[in-house]
Amino acid sequence: MKIIARDLRSIIKGNPFGILERRKNRSSRRRTKSRGPILDIGCGTGTVALYFAARGESVTAIDFVDEAIRQAKEKAKRQNAVAEFFVKDFFTVGEWNRKFANVIDSGLFHIFTDNTERRERYFQVLEQVLEPGGRLYQLTTIQLMPFTQQEFEGLFPKKGWTLESIREFVAEVTPEAAAEHPGFNWNSWFTVLQWNG
Ligand SMILES: C[S@@+](CC[C@H](N)C(=O)[O-])C[C@H]1O[C@@H](n2cnc3c(N)ncnc32)[C@H](O)[C@@H]1O
């Protein structure tokens, strides 16, 4: 599934990363006021990762599917974008010894609908890769996480985390994704959580 999160973009325009604070100087138009390195988890073919890379952010992206990463690297080359892509299981990134100020999850967490253990482990891994004060930006489709908002919020750990915002929106998808998942309900939650460390 390839989610292009129109709303993610508009929230980003609302400036969590300050990405649109372009300089007046044309030569530095693509430079940004970065809020630190980004890790995209379950990046698929890299759509979201490359969106940020094109805006001058430092982006690392992982997916455990070789073919997805191969395509992501190819796309990066075509777009002349600089981003790191790795074939990696998300559940191993805690052993990686790298920290990020931002983690983007566009469609990974919602895979663990019926798996409490995986959901809990997910947050333990994030605690290892996020810098203290770092944020998780998460897009979750409601069809795959069919809970009330209150139940959904109950999936997030309380200790060490602050739920900064959560809102419902309809994700915009590529024509290929729409064709692959006919009738899918793209209503989603966009959630921002801060890891206090
Ligand atoms: C719904 S797709 C989202 C792809 C991309 N983030 C996007 O928004 O277009 C979920 C992705 O998570 C990847 N994935 C699932 N479990 C994973 C894991 N344990 N480690 C790394 N990637 C995983 C899948 O291979 C798939 O590419």
Check pLDDT > 50 for residue 19. Answer: no
Answer with the residue of higher pLDDT: 124 or 16: 124
pLDDT-based confidence at 34, cuts 50/70/90? Answer: low
65 C-alpha to center of ligand 1: Å?
8
Nearest to 137 by CA among 1, 34, 2, 9: 9
Res 173: pLDDT: 80
- CB of 46 within 6 A of ligand 1: the answer is no
Nearest CA to ligand 1 atom 23: 42
Tell me, in angstroms, the distance from the centre of ligand 1 to residue 115's CA: 16
Q: Which of 4-18, 78-92, 99-113, 180-194 has the lowest mean pLDDT?
A: 4-18
Residue with tokens 């379950």: 42
**Does the pLDDT of residue 112 top 70, yes or no?**
yes
Give residue 177 CA to ligand 1 midpoint distance, Å: 14
The strand pair at 172-173 and 3-4 is best described as antiparallel
Strands 130-141 and 187-195: antiparallel
Of 67, 75, 108, the residue with max ligand 1 atoms within 8 A of its CB, to mutate for a pocket test, comes to 108
CB 4 within 8 A of CB 175: no
According to the CATH classification, is domain 3-195 in 3.40.50.150? yes
Cα(50) to centroid of ligand 1, in Å?
15
The answer to whether the beta carbons of residues 123 and 157 sit under 8 Å apart is: yes
Give the Cα separation of 50 and 82 in Å (integer).
8
Question: In the predicted model, what is the mean pLDDT of the chain?
Answer: 85
Ligand 1 atom at minimum distance from 5 CA: 8
pTM score above 0.75: yes
Q: Are 32 and 53 in contact (CB under 8 A)?
A: no
Section 109-134 average pLDDT: 95
Contact 168 CB / ligand 1 (< 6 Å): no
Residue 130 pLDDT more than 60?
Answer: yes
Cα Rg of the chain (Å, integer)? 16
Q: What residue spans define the domains of the chain?
A: 3-195
Residue 148 burial (CB count, 10 A): 9
82: confidence class by pLDDT, cuts 50, 70, 90 = very high
The pairing of strands 38-41 and 100-106 is: parallel
Angle at 138 between CA 135 and CA 139, to 5 degrees: 160
